[in-house]
Amino acid sequence: MSSSTQFVTVSWLINATFLMCIVYISLVICTCLNHGNP
């Protein structure tokens, strides 16, 4: 593997992890808001 390919793979993994964190946090916030309402 060339260094450029490894860089692209690492960048994609970081972006995917970042997006998953945003989705997870959003789901947690929505769940907390729903539980807060009667």
- Alpha-helical (H) ranges within 1-38 are 3-36
0.85 exceeded by pTM: no
Name the one residue in this structure whose structure tokens are 């593997």. Answer: 1
The pLDDT value given to residue 15: 98
State the sign of the Cα–Cα–Cα–Cα dihedral 19, 25, 29, 35. Answer: positive
| Structural domain span for residue 27 | 1-38
The pLDDT value given to residue 35: 85
The pLDDT value given to residue 38: 63
The number of folded domains in the chain is 1
pLDDT digits (tens, 9 = 90+) for 1-38: 678 898 999 999 999 999 999 999 999 999 999 887 66
The pLDDT value given to residue 1: 60
| Four-CA torsion 26, 30, 32, 38, nearest 10 degrees | 180
